[in-house]
């Protein structure tokens, strides 16, 4: 509220001779939806409070009153707002203009809670600078009919959909317990489930990866440039699985000169301005957690050091561009960028839009005197955030990156080709190098040089990379799922707090026990599908534009539940087969051990002339194909297993015939 007091000249007064005003404020959500069983008639309370019976699903959204209660500790604030409005003729909602409509929902919750019957207005401001606030006051809009306001309806649709998604968590919990698992929580929802599924799928690919080396003849010049043939697996036979075959092929080749086919100068414009998710990638690479980044950015926004964090804009308006233009040299000086690089000081079409709610992420109108001053107020993380935001913005004022694209082939063997990109003028990349946001490693190129020599090249099918923050956020951005802020916020919620589903370990996200159970159960479901998630976001955007009835969004949950329940049920049979989950269950001692689990997944083979079978899993460790072969061959192996105390240990052992309660069986026999 302090920014409004500064902009308007006091907590109360007259705005430009048009009307008298009095300022009052709130804190986040003052109200929240009641529990499902509290919003239905008495005869339906059992149905909506059950966590045990599947017969009560799917829920009927028409059974709910959608009543709200005051958040504990917020009654005093609500009373202050009611008292302040008592003698007024209208209320102006001045909450943040979130892309999701969250700010509109917050405002209307309060208006409805105090039973306001008079006029309601809405103002939307780009930032909290006095100039923006006054401009917003001048263009305030009458929104007294809340059911005609698209932003509010969008947020209402999302809020109700999210509450109804609670039933999927209950359903998953029931199936998990039926299978003998006891997760403490399930957090199944729009974006959370999609992200958990991405993490699960990528880690499963890594676990199942089997390296398949191949060998072929390639050429290399003195600068390390590689010349190779285009390989078609259906007709080409020059790629071998055995090195010696490639060596034999190598004898048919000798050194060759290089023929340059093409040299072409090309330019690359600066990248689009970064969103909050990309800021999270770059600042997170310095070791900072997502929640720290989000909180610090918000604090810096309130201080007008950076622009609005939750924007979905990727461009700025001409007015916003012109507002920052006189400050760019000052900004450059603070972060150590040479102002001589900032030669493109006229608007460029790629970065300018005619309309934007907030404009893309950029430096604020208050430029810090130095990075040291910034650190004193916001810590080292504030310095990192400001540098990323400022460099991204200043890069658009620099010249395009210029490089020379060259293509070449070998004189003696024209099928062997190579292409390179040679930097000629780095320009904007001297300010902001967007390669740090890409998962692709860009090799340093050098001129083609002298003769190229043949050699045997060893390659392999690529190993899947870890599910890093960069991978997840880039995937969601590529498929246009959520805003940068929503992606980063959801990832932060998944990987922190009591209800976390994953942890960031050595650069990659790893699901914990709850996350692994949830991912397995929801595999192939609609709620965990990135495509369905995008469709939901698109539907909510249509509600905002008043192209779609908001009630259709929560109604869609019935379709999702009917589709997903049999999938959850079928997937529950896979819980015992997942080696990673078995190890996690053993550590957390949250799995009800039964005969089915003890039996585990069997492998068969010949052992000392006898056809036998034995458990493929021991102590949470699933034997690899090589380990199975070694055991059947009578060899001793060393494995990592989980002890009863939940600690990882190493043990050696062999396959042996053993006895348990009078029953003979073959299995891994450890040597403790």
Residues in the chain: 672
- Chain centroid to CA 444: 29
Output the domain CATH number for residue 453: 2.70.20
**Whether residues 390 and 404 fall in one domain:** no
Q: Judge whether 429 lies within some domain.
A: yes
**How are beta strands 226-227 and 213-220 bridged, if at all?**
antiparallel
- The CA distance from 131 to 485, in Å, is 25
The pLDDT tens digits for 464-513 are 999 999 999 999 999 989 888 999 999 999 998 888 999 999 889 999 99
| DSSP code at position 663 | E
> Residue 192 corresponds to which tokens in the numbers above?
């959370």
**Whether residues 531 and 473 fall in one domain:** yes
Output the domain CATH number for residue 387: 1.10.290.10
Mean pLDDT (whole number) for 89-94: 95
Give the three-class secondary structure for 342. Answer: coil
- Chain centroid to CA 192: 9
> Residue 492 corresponds to which tokens in the numbers above?
């932060």
Domain end residue (candidates: 437, 460, 483)? 460
- The CA distance from 646 to 668, in Å, is 20
Question: Looking at 55-59, 420-424, 498-502, which range is the least confident one?
Answer: 498-502
Say how many Å lie between the first and final Cα of the chain, rounded.
Answer: 67
List residues bridging with 348 in a β-sheet: none
**Whether residues 367 and 218 fall in one domain:** no
| DSSP code at position 65 | -
**Whether residues 324 and 377 fall in one domain:** yes
Q: Judge whether 45 lies within some domain.
A: no
Question: Is the CB of residue 507 less than 8 Å from the CB of residue 514?
Answer: no
- The CA distance from 204 to 198, in Å, is 10
- The CA distance from 198 to 192, in Å, is 10
Q: What is the pLDDT of residue 600?
A: 57
Report residue 598's pLDDT band, with 50, 70 and 90 as the boundaries.
very low
- The CA distance from 525 to 508, in Å, is 24
**Whether residues 539 and 499 fall in one domain:** yes
**Whether residues 106 and 171 fall in one domain:** no
Q: Judge whether 653 lies within some domain.
A: yes
Domain count, the chain: 5
**How are beta strands 502-505 and 508-511 bridged, if at all?**
antiparallel
Output the domain CATH number for residue 119: 3.40.50.140
Task: Answer yes or no: is pLDDT of 661 > 90.
Answer: no
**Whether residues 194 and 254 fall in one domain:** no
- The CA distance from 595 to 336, in Å, is 66
**Whether residues 25 and 158 fall in one domain:** yes
- The CA distance from 341 to 463, in Å, is 40
Task: Answer yes or no: is pLDDT of 590 > 80.
Answer: no
- The CA distance from 105 to 79, in Å, is 19
**Whether residues 247 and 321 fall in one domain:** no
For residue 103, what are the CA distances in angstroms to 80, 106, 516?
A: 19, 5, 34
Q: Judge whether 90 lies within some domain.
A: yes
**Whether residues 441 and 480 fall in one domain:** no
Mean pLDDT (whole number) for 399-421: 97
Nearest to 91 by CA among 120, 134, 133, 124: 120
Q: Judge whether 596 lies within some domain.
A: no
Q: Judge whether 590 lies within some domain.
A: no
Domain end residue (candidates: 366, 395, 424)? 395
Nearest to 456 by CA among 291, 623, 126, 216: 216
Q: What is the pLDDT of residue 642?
A: 66
Give the three-class secondary structure for 120. Answer: strand
Nearest to 126 by CA among 378, 393, 319, 366: 319
**Whether residues 374 and 503 fall in one domain:** no
The pLDDT tens digits for 604-635 are 888 888 888 889 888 878 888 888 999 999 99
Q: Judge whether 180 lies within some domain.
A: yes
- The CA distance from 364 to 351, in Å, is 17
* Residue-range definition of the domain harbouring residue 301: 276-395
**Whether residues 339 and 449 fall in one domain:** no
The pLDDT tens digits for 180-201 are 999 998 999 989 999 999 999 9
Nearest to 370 by CA among 378, 362, 361: 378
| DSSP code at position 36 | G
Report residue 98's pLDDT band, with 50, 70 and 90 as the boundaries.
confident
| Token pair 């959801």: residue | 490
Q: Judge whether 365 lies within some domain.
A: yes
Domain end residue (candidates: 441, 460, 479)? 460
């Amino acid at each position: 509220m302090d920014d409004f007091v500064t902009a308007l000249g006091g907590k109360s007064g007259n705005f430009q001779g048009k009307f008298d005003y009095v300022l009052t404020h709130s804190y986040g959500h003052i109200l929240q939806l009641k529990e499902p069983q509290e919003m239905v008639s008495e005869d339906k309370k059992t149905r909506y409070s059950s966590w045990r019976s599947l017969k009560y699903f799917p829920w009927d959204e028409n059974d709910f009153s959608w009543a709200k209660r005051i958040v504990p500790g917020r009654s005093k604030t609500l009373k202050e707002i009611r008292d302040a409005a008592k003698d007024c003729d209208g209320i102006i909602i001045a909450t943040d203009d979130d892309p999701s409509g969250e700010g509109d929902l917050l405002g209307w919750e309060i208006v409805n809670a105090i039973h306001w019957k008079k006029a309601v207005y809405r103002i939307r401001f780009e930032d909290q600078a006095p100039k923006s606030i006054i401009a917003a006051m001048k263009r305030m809009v009458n929104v007294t009919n809340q059911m005609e306001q698209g932003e509010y309806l969008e947020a209402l649709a999302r809020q109700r959909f999210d509450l109804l998604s609670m039933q999927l968590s209950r359903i998953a919990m029931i199936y998990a317990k039926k299978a003998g698992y006891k997760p403490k929580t399930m957090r199944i929802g729009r974006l959370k489930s999609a992200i958990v599924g991405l993490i699960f799928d990528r880690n499963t690919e890594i676990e199942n990866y089997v390296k398949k080396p191949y060998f072929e003849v390639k050429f290399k010049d003195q600068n390390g440039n590689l010349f190779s043939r285009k390989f078609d697996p259906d007709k080409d036979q020059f790629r071998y699985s055995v090195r010696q075959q490639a060596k034999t092929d190598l004898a048919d080749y000798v050194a060759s000169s290089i023929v340059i086919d093409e040299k072409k100068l090309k330019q690359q414009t600066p990248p689009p301005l970064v969103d909050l998710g990309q800021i999270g990638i770059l600042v997170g690479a310095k070791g900072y957690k997502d929640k720290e980044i989000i909180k610090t950015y918000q604090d810096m926004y309130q201080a007008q050091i950076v622009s609005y964090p939750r924007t979905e804009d990727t461009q700025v308006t001409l007015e916003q561009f012109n507002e920052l233009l006189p400050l760019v040299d000052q900004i450059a000086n603070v972060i150590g960028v040479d102002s001589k690089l900032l030669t493109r000081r006229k608007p460029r079409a790629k970065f300018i839009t005619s309309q934007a709610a907030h404009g893309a992420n950029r430096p604020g109108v208050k430029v810090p005197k130095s990075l040291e001053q910034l650190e004193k107020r916001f810590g080292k993380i504030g310095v990192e955030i400001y540098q990323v935001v400022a460099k991204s913005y200043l890069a658009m004022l620099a010249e395009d990156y210029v490089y020379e694209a060259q293509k070449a082939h070998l004189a003696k063997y024209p099928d062997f080709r190579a292409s390179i990109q040679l930097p000629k003028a780095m320009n904007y990349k001297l300010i902001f190098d967007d390669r740090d946001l890409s998962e692709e490693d860009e090799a340093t190129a050098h001129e083609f040089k002298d003769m190229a020599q043949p050699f045997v090249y060893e390659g392999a099918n690529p190993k899947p990379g870890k599910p890093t923050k960069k991978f997840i956020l880039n995937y969601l951005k590529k498929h246009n799922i959520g805003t940068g802020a929503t992606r980063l916020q959801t990832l932060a919620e998944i990987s922190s707090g009591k209800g976390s589903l994953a942890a960031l370990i050595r650069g990659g996200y790893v699901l914990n026990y709850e996350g692994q159970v949830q991912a397995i159960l929801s595999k192939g479901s609609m709620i965990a599908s990135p495509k369905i998630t995008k469709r939901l976001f698109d539907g909510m955007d249509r509600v905002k534009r008043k192209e779609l009835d908001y009630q259709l969004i929560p109604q869609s949950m019935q379709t999702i539940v009917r589709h997903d329940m049999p999938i959850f049920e079928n997937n529950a049979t896979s819980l015992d087969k997942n080696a990673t989950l078995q190890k996690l269950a053993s550590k957390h001692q949250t799995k009800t051990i039964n005969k089915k689990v003890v039996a585990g997944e069997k492998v068969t083979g010949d052992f000392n002339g006898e056809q036998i079978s034995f458990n493929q899993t021991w102590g949470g460790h699933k034997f690899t194909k090589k380990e199975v072969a070694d055991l059947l061959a009578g060899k001793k192996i060393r494995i990592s297993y989980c002890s009863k105390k939940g600690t990882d240990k190493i043990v050696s052992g062999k396959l042996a015939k053993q006895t348990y309660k009078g029953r003979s069986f073959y299995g891994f026999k450890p040597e403790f």
